[in-house]
Chains A and B, each alone.
Chain A
Amino acid sequence: MWYHKPVVNKELLQSLPNLRIVASSGVGIDHLDLNLLSSFGVKVSNTPFIVSTDTADLGMALMLASSRRLVEGYEMAVSPDTEYFPADWLGAEVSGATLGIVGMGTIGYKVAERAKAFEMKILYHNRSQRKKEEESAVGAVYCKKIDDLLQQSDFVLLAVNLTPQTHKLIGKRELELMKPTATLINISRGLVVDQDALVEALQNKVIKAAALDVTYPEPLPRDHPLLKLKNVIITPHIGSATKKTRRIMMEEMTESIQAGIAGLPIPHEVL
């Protein structure tokens, strides 16, 4: 399945008595009711690791585009009204700034590896602390309490998966703990952020900016305030959207499907 379609509910499963496997594209499986599928004896697979690099790349792309005002700059460079480039037009520096990674899984760690090369100071919050060697390799400091990360970061990047525990992980309280000069980058799931609280925080300059590859819903209604805010970049969930990666995802899904139909062990099975 691609982009959460078709919706896998009881009706669909009842109408497909011979269904053996649902192969989902990407790593997130928050759109699937695993208990329901299991009760119908249907197996589930995803494409977990192949998406990590592109998603980490996109996280970095969003952070750089936001801080250096790339979209705004492009619009100025091509606008028919532009006569000169103003001398006092400045962005914020990424090199040497503090990046707080919320969710240090495969994707979060790849972001850390990239950010280290930008001489960034890296903080991270995770269900569990990573091994010392893993921390030292990227110079990352564990923040057991998310508050510590939020208060010190210039950029807060969300790379958790969506679970009942991470639903609305970033709400009014968390946004208020962030620096007023900080930027929120979301490459996880829209529902990890309390979107209404985010709109307010951006409108009232509680935080400086946001760059979102994910929202809830996707796409947002066309009159949604997030679409109009000048300090927001939105991309249409393109974390894994490169030709190479999509090709490999297709191959992995096909492998899983073939194994599922043949009754063999399924690569990338989600249990």
Chain B
Amino acid sequence: LWWHKPVIDQELLQSLPNLKVIANSGVGMDHLDLKLVASFGVKMANAPRAVCSSTADAGMALLLASARRLVEVHHIAISSSMDYCEADILGVKVSGATLGIIGMGRIGYKIALRAKAFEMKILYHNRTQRKAQEEQAVGATYCEKIDSLLQQADFVMVAVSLTPQTRNLIGKRELELMKPTATLVNISRGAVVDQEALVMALQTGVIWAAALDVTYPEPLPRDHPLLKLKNVIITPHLGIKTDKTTYMITEEAVENILAALNGLPMPSEVL
């Protein structure tokens, strides 16, 4: 299953009586009706290990690009006029800043490993606290209440999976808790953020900036306000889109498919 196609609905499942397994290219399973698929006796697998590094890299790429205004200044550097004031293109220092990671799963943890090397102070919010050694290895401090993380972070990185509990996790209230100098980076799913609230927050200076690899829908309608805001970077859901990761996803998918067809335990079965 690549890029959510084909759509797995009742019709499709009825037309494929011999279907044994669906392997998803990526880790998110929010586009699949797990109950429906299970009711047809079809097994499901995702590719959690294959995607972590490239997604963490993308998160860091967005954080850095936003902080240092990379897209903006690149356009200045190549534009036909060279009228700009040096003092106007100052960015925000990343090293030593505070990063708040919401969702400390495999991807969130890889982000913490990278951020540590940038001497960032790391806070995290997660359904459960990580083990002490894992926290120490990246110097991460657990925030049981998300509010505490939002109030202290210079960069808020969202790396949760999309579930009924995380839908609109970041809304008006959460955005208002963030510092006015803070940047929101979303590499999870568009629906985790209340997009209208985000637009308002960005327009009124409630938060400083946003960098989004995911939106709802993808792509956004061409007249959407997010496309026009100067303090927003949007990328086309490129979190896992590298040659190496595509290869690894395919390998992981094949492993799972072969295991399912041979009646063996699947390495990344999703129940």
In angstroms, Cα B60 to Cα A114, docked, is 11
B114 CB contact (under 8 Å) in A76, A118, A222, A244: A118
Asked if A117 contacts B116 (CB within 8 A), the reply is yes
Collect the chain B residues with CB atoms within 8 Å of residue A65's CB: 61, 64-65, 70
Distance to closest chain B CB from A76 (angstroms)? 5
Asked if B93 contacts A91 (CB within 8 A), the reply is no
Distance to closest chain B CB from A112 (angstroms)? 10
Asked if B61 contacts A93 (CB within 8 A), the reply is no
Collect the chain B residues with CB atoms within 8 Å of residue A49's CB: none
Asked if B234 contacts A68 (CB within 8 A), the reply is no
Distance to closest chain B CB from A258 (angstroms)? 23
Collect the chain A residues with CB atoms within 8 Å of residue B245's CB: 93
Once A64-B57, A71-B71, A89-B236 are accepted as A-B contacts, the answer to whether A219 and B222 lie under 8 Å apart by CB is no
Is A216 engaged at the interface, CB distance under 8 Å to the other chain? Answer: no
Distance to closest chain B CB from A259 (angstroms)? 26
Q: Which of A80-103 contact B (CB under 8 A)?
A: 80, 82-85, 87, 89-96
Q: Which of B218-257 contact A (CB under 8 A)?
A: 218-220, 222, 227, 233-238, 241-246
Interface mask (A43-63 → B, CB under 8 Å = 1, otherwise 0): 000000000011011101110
Is B119 engaged at the interface, CB distance under 8 Å to the other chain? Answer: yes
Distance to closest chain A CB from B199 (angstroms)? 14
Closest to A115 in B: B117
- Chain B binder among A143-151, A168-176, A233-241: A233-241
Is A12 engaged at the interface, CB distance under 8 Å to the other chain? Answer: no
Is B82 engaged at the interface, CB distance under 8 Å to the other chain? Answer: yes
Is A166 engaged at the interface, CB distance under 8 Å to the other chain? Answer: no
In angstroms, Cα B219 to Cα A80, docked, is 11
Distance to closest chain A CB from B25 (angstroms)? 10
Distance to closest chain B CB from A80 (angstroms)? 5
Interface mask (A190-226 → B, CB under 8 Å = 1, otherwise 0): 0000000000000000000000000000010010000
Asked if A69 contacts B57 (CB within 8 A), the reply is no
Interface residue count for B (Cβ, 8 Å)? Answer: 58
Asked if A235 contacts B73 (CB within 8 A), the reply is yes
In angstroms, Cα B70 to Cα A69, docked, is 12
Asked if A244 contacts B241 (CB within 8 A), the reply is no
Interface mask (A61-79 → B, CB under 8 Å = 1, otherwise 0): 1101101111101101110
Once A61-B68, A68-B61, A113-B117 are accepted as A-B contacts, the answer to whether A74 and B234 lie under 8 Å apart by CB is yes
In angstroms, Cα B69 to Cα A219, docked, is 18
Asked if A61 contacts B241 (CB within 8 A), the reply is no
A93 CB contact (under 8 Å) in B86, B92, B117, B242: B242
Is B200 engaged at the interface, CB distance under 8 Å to the other chain? Answer: no
In angstroms, Cα B219 to Cα A83, docked, is 7
Asked if B241 contacts A89 (CB within 8 A), the reply is yes
Asked if A70 contacts B61 (CB within 8 A), the reply is yes
Asked if A243 contacts B71 (CB within 8 A), the reply is no
Is B163 engaged at the interface, CB distance under 8 Å to the other chain? Answer: no
In angstroms, Cα B82 to Cα A214, docked, is 15
Collect the chain B residues with CB atoms within 8 Å of residue A69's CB: 238
Once A65-B65, A78-B227 are accepted as A-B contacts, the answer to whether A227 and B78 lie under 8 Å apart by CB is yes
Interface mask (B29-48 → A, CB under 8 Å = 1, otherwise 0): 00000000000000000000
In angstroms, Cα B248 to Cα A96, docked, is 13
Collect the chain A residues with CB atoms within 8 Å of residue B114's CB: 114, 117-118
Asked if A68 contacts B242 (CB within 8 A), the reply is yes
Once A65-B61, A69-B238, A77-B219 are accepted as A-B contacts, the answer to whether A93 and B54 lie under 8 Å apart by CB is yes
Asked if B93 contacts A244 (CB within 8 A), the reply is yes
Distance to closest chain B CB from A137 (angstroms)? 11
Can you give 28 contacting A-B residue pairs, CB < 8 Å? A54-B95, A56-B95, A61-B64, A64-B57, A64-B61, A64-B65, A68-B57, A71-B70, A71-B74, A74-B234, A76-B236, A77-B235, A78-B234, A80-B222, A84-B219, A87-B3, A89-B236, A93-B53, A95-B56, A114-B114, A118-B53, A219-B82, A241-B68, A241-B90, A242-B68, A242-B91, A243-B90, A244-B93
B contacts, CB < 8 Å to A: 2-3, 53-54, 56-58, 60-62, 64-65, 67-71, 73-74, 76-78, 80-82, 84, 86, 89-96, 113-114, 116-119, 218-220, 222, 227, 233-238, 241-246
Add 20 more A-B contacts to A53-B93, A93-B243, A95-B57 (CB < 8 A): A56-B95, A57-B68, A60-B64, A61-B65, A65-B65, A69-B238, A71-B71, A73-B235, A82-B222, A85-B237, A96-B244, A113-B117, A117-B117, A118-B53, A227-B78, A235-B70, A241-B86, A241-B89, A242-B92, A243-B93
